[in-house]
Structure 1
Amino acid sequence: MWSYKFDSKVISVSCCNDKVAFGCENGWVYVFDKDGLLWSKKLVSTYYRGPFTDVNVTALDINDRYIVIGTDFADGKVYLFDLNGKKIWERQLMSILGCWERPEDIKIVKIARTGIAVVSGFVNDRLTLFNLRGETINVATYKDFVRCLDADRVIGIGTDKHSEILNGVKFEKPSKDVIVIEDLAFFANDNEVFSSCEWSFKAENPIISANKSNVCFSSKNTVFVCTLDGDVEKKIDFDGRITDLKIADGDVLIGTSNGLYINSKRVMDGRVFKIGDSFVIFEVGKNEFKYVSL
């Protein structure tokens, strides 16, 4: 167990195994494991000069081999690091308008099975796919505002107008979150959860989680656990506001504003910020977080 107070606001976070990465609005990236801080780096703009070199770390994704990082329009870069903090490559994404150019905002980054998926935006949002060598293998432009992306065998994308599996099924409804498990996608918007398996449930401001056996989602203070085919297996009610969900090994971990629950049993007190694979992050103060192993 450890706690850490950051110098500025955390605006992106990602977890894998016992590791968690934080990105801050002052350009700092921090990577921790169960024993504490592993490494940190400050990213700065190489596009703008003088006093205008601060960037926001707007996107992160970490897996068991890499961490991919994205910055805002102050530099518009995608970085790939190994888990020891060694930079493998960086790429800058630019928008060109006539004779004028500007770095794009890197909005979402995801590590897929064969490369890196990046959503960036300025005039229009773009999906750029890189291989692990940093070579561009595909670019797609969206007229709609892209709000979410996840990747496994397929890539799931949600915009403010529609949701889709890239080069696959498309739904004429928006989404704000998506989870992809192998070739299935589970989407959520402000009042519904729906699946590429073609089932849907009404839900108010849902949070979703899924694994290879089940999908769970919240609606107000209730959590529903379903099969991947959409059959409801369990329903759990809570008093506090639900802040995060994770389904693993047949159990549902529910983070609320006043504690952590495993299924319906409260096991820890505190405001849950993020649930990882083997730990939970509590928000204990302004820009201050506590890591507790499960």
Structure 2
Amino acid sequence: MTVLAPIRRTSRSVTDCPNGVGHGVGIAHLGEILQGRFDDDGRLTHGTVTLPYPRKSSTARFRAHAEEALVVVPHWRSKARRAAGESLRSLGVTAGGVLEVSTTIPTGRGCGSSTADVVASIRAVADSFGTTLSAARTAQLAVRAEGASDAIMFGDRVVLFASRDGHVIEDLVLAVPRLEVLAVDLDVSGVDTLAVPSPVYGRLELSTFGALRGLLRRALIDRSATLLARVASVSAEINQRHLPNPLYDLMVDVQRRVGAIGVQVAHTGTVMSLLFDPTDPDTVLREAMAIRLLDAAGIHRHWHYQVGS
């Protein structure tokens, strides 16, 4: 595991808190476009590329005070509390404060609810002291706070992210190309990401991940929804062997029947998506057909959104 870099601290106090109250936001995602193990300066590291879902988010509000106690509302958001504590220490602050967190993200579905809480909290603490932490530093603090993190702090910029180590394996710089997404929720009990074991991939699978990494670069450069969907589909197929999703076979069948360009999975959650090309004049019809097939199969929790640029 990568040792996280030390954070340079400068002494601060509550009197250095120019904004009084700080605010922060962390967006949701819908799972992974790509998940596997990748070459990372000569060693294999578990990495993910997430599919952003900016329609849902967590928001945080932080007010520092001279006492060292750190209070979070609601009290059970322990990861957000740890994130605020890590942020205060990184800023060299010995004071405490009150952190209020709210969210529109469903929990336990693989949509990054805890990471969104954590990122929003880190940003709120920094904002209260009139500063903004880089995405890379935010990622380090997030992993310290929750053990594993998604890459939502990078916004719409695509990165191959070492989710348990807190660093970027490869910064692909660009945003995902435009995609039409039809997301589906299994409507089963939630998933604890940290409780899910890391898959042990075979040699052929590891080789395929390297090829998918190259295909992902090409998809971003060419702005190709079709190539991006291919990456997501092959990644989903490989990870189905290790982290089986009971909806997978149904979604693949619906994809083929309606002509969707791919399938995408939240590998440590309960959501999956069908991917469509927004430039296809038949996309609206294809999505409508997919919804009818899903409803007929008893899958009624689905929603549509567009992502990318």
Determine which structure has the larger strand proportion and give its number. 1
Task: Considering Cα pairs closer than 8 Å and 6+ residues apart, tell me whether 1 or 2 has the greater RCO.
Answer: 2
For normalisation by structure 2, the TM-score amounts to: 0.29
Larger radius of gyration: 2
Query: TM-score, normalised to structure 1's length?
Result: 0.30
Higher helix share: 2
